[in-house]
Structure 1
Amino acid sequence: MIKAYAAFEAKGELKPFEYDPGELKPNEVEINVKYCGICHSDVSVIDNEWGISSYPVVPGHEVVGEISAVGDRVTNLSVGQVVGLGWHSGYCGECMPCVSGDQNLCATAQPTIVGHHGGFAEKVRAEALSVVPIPDGIDLEAAGPLFCGGITVFNPLVQFDIEPTSKVAVIGIGGLGHIALQFLNAWGCEVTAFTSSEHKRQEALELGAHKTLNSRDSEELEAAAGQFDLIISTVNVKLDWNSYLNTLKPKGRLHFVGATLEPLDINAFALIMAQRSVSGSPVGSPATIAKMLEFVKLHGIEPVIEKFSFEQVNEAIAKLKDGDIHYRAVLCR
């Protein structure tokens, strides 16, 4: 039996829960969970905001731990190895994205916390190909958020061949945005932080931004017209997207990694006349996650975390809902 914390109804408090995972499948590994980040996506699934949750829900998809068992067909991982597990715990392995190395785009990929029990638990299971070894030299306490928040903002840098000479802005300096600033600075870009929070301006500069812009100041936005090659939006609320489009250079890109649920109000002429693009992306493939971890190790990048025991999970979730986490919550064994 695996001991875990689960929600038994939408918006319900997490309670102790035990389940029998059955026999370990030949292509699976079992991980002893040491640390697990708490992501806004965990809250969305707990509360069934996306309409895809099945209860009981065991959240947790920013897992760091040690492999305790491997299936008979697993050859790429071994018992005792320190690994991480993110949003996906399995892929079909047969579709074009999978065979092309874009497993994160697999239409039938298995989410770690939807129809599958996640990492708010003593142990978690996943297909071996979705599990990524963590290099020596990375702080394991802070590594969990890299497997969702981190890879979400790293993936666009790889997918769109962002150059060190690019001028890149980040909307929202929170759980995703504060990692994006660190990545972009280490990538060599000129980095701008859009933030409406005065107290976050100085911290954004300390995290890697070269300059900040007040996202609520229309004059500052107008003065930034035509400046950026890429804007990464990490927020999940509706903004005046056309004002941000205007700050892009010709052929610039407004890229969404924050899941705003409201339709995008976009002026087509703002795209057409300057050949701009609007796009979005999910987490990355296992290979891209591995590349991100090497980048993190090389540049000493770390998410800023607040630590909680697993028994404090409801307290941590309440703080996250209130916007009081600075910047990522991590459950520690």
Structure 2
Amino acid sequence: MRAMVLDQTSLISSNPLRLEDRPVPAPQPGQVLVNIHVCGVCRTDLHVVEGELPDVALPIIPGHQAVGTVMQLGADVSKIKEGDRVGIAWLQGTCGQCEFCTSGRENLCLHAEFTGYQVDGGYAEYAVVPARFAYPIPQIFSDDEASPLLCAGIIGYRALRLSGIKPGQRLGLYGFGASAHIAIQIARHWDCQVYVSSLKREHQELAKQLGAVWVGGSTEMPPDKLHGSIIFAPAGELVPPALRALDRGGTLALAGIYMSPIPSLDYDRDVFGERVIRSVTANTRQDGIDLLREAAAIPIKPHTVRFPLEEANRALQELKAGSFQGAAVLTMQ
């Protein structure tokens, strides 16, 4: 099978991913083999490739937003059958026994395994995944549309929940890439008023098209106090102004797996008034199930740009530069 492999972390400008021919993996007990149709390109992949996340299991096939067809079942698989269309997301394994796993917080499991980081991922024609971590894909979505829902969508959905935002309230979004452009569609479905801060003019235009009531640059303050906000951009310098823009009792959710240093906070100006700051750490399987169900009911329409598998380096370079709107997907054909 063809696969894009990372042997050594490096800046994406050096084209560190290389195309390699590898054997098709065999599913072990409890696993399924998936013939991948498309795999989304995520900022987390960029953090993996550039070495901003520690202890990458090199060499590794990145990618964790894969959609494809189940081709083979390992032993002891009962709820999935050959021919099913499934998605492979970031979380691929947990211990199932710790206090986090047994209290509905498996995303915090200290023994969790992650796709395209600790086990091979979706930048390939085939991948294996534990059947209990494979998501059935609603028929309403094409492969391209389903792919970004598997991380950008799930993380955006979890971040919305952690922000405490309620229907009809004012929500701030900082950064407007793949995750934010899905989150705004959910928030608008909830009748929230959405305020978007983004550096890129084209991203601001997309936010307007998707129903933002206000758009501005990253240094501009929204005209109204916000009930909740989410920072998607990996920019720690956004935290103080985002807290400042919250109304008393508001919550700021930090949705990135990596963030640059956060400047000092002024207690009276930035925090006082029971403002809350929370991080978003991965997702639970229930988050994915809930998101896919709600996304199909709305329905969410992700904006996608296609790249062939062998151009994964270019796709990540354009992601880093913010050169496209919405989400990018790698195609295997």
Which residue pairs with 1:306 in the alignment?
A: 305
1:63–1:144 Cα contact (<8 Å) kept:
yes
Which residue pairs with 1:8 in the alignment?
A: 7
2:159–2:254 Cα contact (<8 Å) kept:
no
- Picking from 234, 237, 260, the partner of 1:236 is 234
| 1:177-204 superposed Cα distances (whole Å, 9 cap, x missing partner) | 2222112111221111123444443321
Matches within 5 A, 1:42-53: 42-53=45-56
1:194 and 2:223 are equivalent in the alignment = no
1:90–1:109 Cα contact (<8 Å) kept:
yes
Which residue pairs with 2:245 in the alignment?
A: 247
Q: Which shifted more, 208-217 or 180-189?
A: 208-217
5+ residue gaps, structure 2, are none
State the shift of 1:44 in Å: 1.5
2:265–2:271 Cα contact (<8 Å) kept:
no
- Picking from 151, 155, 170, the partner of 1:152 is 155
Q: Which shifted more, 2-11 or 83-92?
A: 2-11
Q: Which AA in structure 1 matches 2:239?
A: W
Q: Secondary structure at the match of 2:100?
A: helix
Q: Secondary structure at the match of 2:155?
A: helix
C-alpha distance in 2 between matches for 1:276 and 1:255: 11
State the shift of 1:213 in Å: 3.5
Query: CA separation of 1:16/1:288 partners in 2, compared to 1, >3 Å: closer, same or farther?
Result: same
1:270–1:276 Cα contact (<8 Å) kept:
no
1:28 and 2:27 are equivalent in the alignment = no
C-alpha distance in 2 between matches for 1:128 and 1:23: 14
C-alpha distance in 1 between matches for 2:20 and 2:199: 41
Which residue pairs with 2:267 in the alignment?
A: 268
C-alpha distance in 2 between matches for 1:280 and 1:85: 23
Q: Which AA in structure 2 matches 1:237?
A: A
Q: Secondary structure at the match of 2:237?
A: coil
| 1:60-79 superposed Cα distances (whole Å, 9 cap, x missing partner) | 11100111122222222111
Q: State the TM-score, normalized to the length of structure 1.
A: 0.91
Which residue pairs with 1:92 in the alignment?
A: 95
C-alpha distance in 1 between matches for 2:24 and 2:111: 21
Higher relative contact order (CA 8 A, sep 6+): 2
Q: Secondary structure at the match of 2:178?
A: coil
State the shift of 1:21 in Å: 6.7
C-alpha distance in 1 between matches for 2:146 and 2:25: 29
1:285 and 2:284 are equivalent in the alignment = yes
C-alpha distance in 2 between matches for 1:61 and 1:250: 37
Matches within 5 A, 1:22-171: 23-159=26-162, 162-171=165-174
C-alpha distance in 1 between matches for 2:45 and 2:238: 27
Q: Which AA in structure 2 matches 1:307?
A: R
The count of corresponding residues between Structure 1 and Structure 2 is 327
Q: Which AA in structure 2 matches 1:134?
A: I
Q: Secondary structure at the match of 2:209?
A: helix
Q: Secondary structure at the match of 1:236?
A: coil
Q: State the TM-score, normalized to the length of structure 2.
A: 0.91
Which residue pairs with 1:321 in the alignment?
A: 320
State the shift of 1:270 in Å: 3.9
Q: Which AA in structure 2 matches 1:315?
A: R
1:192–1:212 Cα contact (<8 Å) kept:
yes
| 1:26-47 superposed Cα distances (whole Å, 9 cap, x missing partner) | 1111111001011111121122
1:143–1:302 Cα contact (<8 Å) kept:
no
| 1:158-189 superposed Cα distances (whole Å, 9 cap, x missing partner) | 34553212211101112222222112111221
Q: Which AA in structure 2 matches 1:288?
A: D
Q: Secondary structure at the match of 2:236?
A: coil
C-alpha distance in 2 between matches for 1:202 and 1:324: 14
C-alpha distance in 2 between matches for 1:186 and 1:161: 16
C-alpha distance in 2 between matches for 1:156 and 1:26: 34
State the shift of 1:269 in Å: 2.8
C-alpha distance in 1 between matches for 2:117 and 2:216: 38
1:90–1:126 Cα contact (<8 Å) kept:
no
Q: Cα RMSD over matched residues?
A: 2.1
State the shift of 1:317 in Å: 2.4
State the shift of 1:292 in Å: 0.6
Query: CA separation of 1:83/1:179 partners in 2, compared to 1, >3 Å: closer, same or farther?
Result: same
Q: Which AA in structure 2 matches 1:328?
A: A
